[in-house]
Structure formats: structure tokens, C-alpha cells
């Protein structure tokens, strides 16, 4: 899945689109993608001057966006939609992510029932685990004509 297809599915745009390419997809099961981390990313200006480190919250957001792509492809959603992150468990950061890294993203479905999806996400660099988390998200009612605009009151995550 190239960037054009990713942009058709996700509403995010620069500087908040954090998935560059999907390299493997098994519907209803798993997805592998990556983000090329560049020194030109706006967040490196202040995080941290002289020691640029990708914020952990953005690594989790990249995993959430990868999970949203998996959910949309699995459910046959066309066009930009919204997925709302409603919970995170077991978030752990294992190594810093710095400019020049390729952040490999892997999400695996633990459970999906109706509109609720629980996935395990792992972000790694050169085979070293950088972040792991279990993410819980809800999709809008896909049968609703206003599905891409419904909000369950949670924060946007994908």
C-alpha cells in the first residue's frame, strides 16, 4: 500500500501522517508498515535541541494509524474515515527513535467485535524493539451515512 492509498484511507496529513508505506497485510489479522524518520520532522525542533528524539506519543500514534489501516482494509472502508483510540495498555518504550531511523510498525489483532478492535502493536528499529503497546479503538458505525464524522467522545488516534 503506497502513500496515495494510505491518504485515501486516513484523514491525517503532514505533519501528522505517520505511516509511509504498508508492506504486508493479512485482513482481520495483521499489518506491517514503516515510517522513515527524517531530521526535517517538525517535532525535532524542540524534542530535543541538540539531541533529537521522536516523542513516544507519536510512536504510539504511528501504531494507531497502522491499526486504523488494518481495520479499514479488513472492513472494506473506502475513503478517509476516523478511528478513535479509547484505551492503551502495557505501553513500554525500549529505545529512542532518532533521525535517520526506519520505524517498522507491526500490529496484530487480539480481538475484534463489532466496532471495537484490540491490537498489539510493536515499533522497532533495525530489529530492536522501540515501543510496544496494546491499543483499543472503536470504528464509527460503518452503516451510517455520517460514519466518518461520528465521535464517541474519545481522542483521535487514527
Which residues participate in catalysis according to the annotation?
47
Is there a contact between 10 and 29 (Cβ–Cβ < 8 Å)? no
Bridge pairing between strands 21-26 and 116-125: unpaired
How buried is residue 82: exposed, middle or buried, by Cβ count under 10 Å (0-12/13-18/19+)? buried
How far apart are alpha carbons 17 and 77 in whole angstroms? 18
Q: Which three cell numbers stand for residue 108?
A: 496484530
How far is it, in rounded angstroms, from Cα 147 to Cα 77? 10
Amino acid at each position: 500500500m503506497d502513500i496515495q492509498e494510505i491518504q485515501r484511507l486516513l484523514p491525517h496529513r503532514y505533519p501528522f501522517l505517520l505511516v509511509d508505506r504498508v508492506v504486508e497485510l493479512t485482513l482481520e489479522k495483521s499489518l506491517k508498515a514503516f515510517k522513515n524518520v527524517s531530521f526535517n520532522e517538525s517535532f525535532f525542533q524542540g524534542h530535543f535541541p541538540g539531541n533529537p528524539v521522536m516523542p513516544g506519543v507519536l510512536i504510539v500514534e504511528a501504531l494507531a494509524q497502522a491499526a486504523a489501516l488494518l481495520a479499514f482494509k479488513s472492513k472494506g472502508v473506502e475513503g478517509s474515515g476516523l478511528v478513535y483510540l479509547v484505551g492503551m495498555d502495557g505501553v513500554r518504550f525500549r529505545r529512542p527513535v532518532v533521525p535517520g531511523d526506519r520505524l517498522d510498525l507491526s500490529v496484530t489483532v487480539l480481538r475484534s467485535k463489532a466496532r471495537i478492535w484490540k491490537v498489539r502493536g510493536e515499533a522497532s528499529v533495525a530489529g530492536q524493539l522501540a515501543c510496544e503497546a496494546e491499543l483499543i479503538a472503536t470504528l464509527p458505525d460503518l452503516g451510517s451515512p455520517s460514519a466518518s464524522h461520528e465521535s464517541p467522545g474519545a481522542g483521535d488516534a487514527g
